[in-house]
A and B are shown apart, each in its own frame.
Chain A
Amino acid sequence: AQSVTQPDIHITVSEGASLELRCNYSYGATPYLFWYVQSPGQGLQLLLKYFSGDTLVQGIKGFEAEFKRSQSSFNLRKPSVHWSDAAEYFCAVGAPNRDDKIIFGKGTRLHILP
């Protein structure tokens, strides 16, 4: 069965600084990979997804993620964060052709210093 780990519960960065949120997955083949963002009291919004092809994926709001098979990772990056990026970020993994469930990590809460 697939699983996903987000090692950092909280991350604090200064506005304008670069950001990298870590995500590691466990799955025997190439999984489907997702990053979602959640503002307090809101639903989840899809930032980007990886199914196949180019391992560097561009998403909305200036985010990108890179799939690294050798490291079983799908880290989320942004070159310069804005105060509005403060939120909780969830990595998720799905199993192609197995079932239509996806497994979510426990999330990383991003804090932005002015």
Chain B
Amino acid sequence: DGGITQSPKYLFRKEGQNVTLSCEQNLNHDAMYWYRQDPGQGLRLIYYSQIVNDFQKGDIAEGYSVSREKKESFPLTVTSAQKNPTAFYLCASRTTGTETQYFGPGTRLLVL
């Protein structure tokens, strides 16, 4: 089956801890995205990558970091600098030539 997988489904972070959310796609898509979703806020773009080894900040990049070492993978690290990390995190991907983004099932991050 082709698709986008995110793991884990739930993640708990202790204060001062960095945590990494996984996003993998086997759709051979070039571009990948990370969004944060809070109730009533819609989706806000954190980071995106159009090609391997390159990525750009979105609207709310502070306190987050990413890497894009492989086309299939775009992990997101929530650092200790992110003071309000509790949210639902969504990963998406898109292939060149189409503007349509396809989404993974999401990871819910909670703070202990």
Which residues does A use to contact B, with CB under 8 Å? 9, 32, 34, 36, 41-46, 49, 51, 90, 94, 96, 100-102, 104-107
Chain B residues, CB < 8 A from A49 = 99-100
**Which residue on chain B has the smallest CB distance to residue A96?**
B99
Chain A residues, CB < 8 A from B43 = 44, 90, 104
Q: Mark B1-36, 1 if CB is under 8 A from A, else 0.
A: 000101000000000000000000000000100010
Choose one: B40, B58, B106; the contact of A41 (CB below 8 Å): B106
Which of the four size classes fits the interface of chain B?
20 to 34
- B84, CB-defined interface residue at 8 Å: no
Whether the pair A90, B99 counts as a contact (CB closer than 8 A) is: no
A51 to B101, alpha carbons, bound, how many Å? 14
Chain A min CB distance to B108 (Å): 7
Choose one: A46, A94, A106; the contact of B102 (CB below 8 Å): A46
Interface residues of B in 33-85 (CB under 8 A from A): 35, 40-43, 45, 48, 50, 58
Choose one: A94, A104, A106; the contact of B99 (CB below 8 Å): A94
Whether the pair A32, B99 counts as a contact (CB closer than 8 A) is: yes
A94 to B50, alpha carbons, bound, how many Å? 16
Known: A46-B102, A106-B41. 7 other contacts (CB 8 A): A36-B103, A41-B108, A42-B106, A100-B50, A101-B58, A104-B35, A104-B43
A9 to B111, alpha carbons, bound, how many Å? 27
Choose one: A51, A90, A94, A101; the contact of B48 (CB below 8 Å): A101
Whether the pair A100, B108 counts as a contact (CB closer than 8 A) is: no
User: Can you give 26 A-B contacts (C-beta < 8 A)?
Assistant: A32-B99, A36-B103, A41-B106, A43-B105, A43-B106, A44-B43, A44-B103, A45-B103, A46-B100, A49-B99, A49-B100, A90-B43, A96-B99, A100-B48, A100-B50, A100-B94, A100-B99, A101-B45, A101-B48, A101-B58, A102-B99, A102-B101, A104-B42, A104-B43, A106-B41, A106-B42
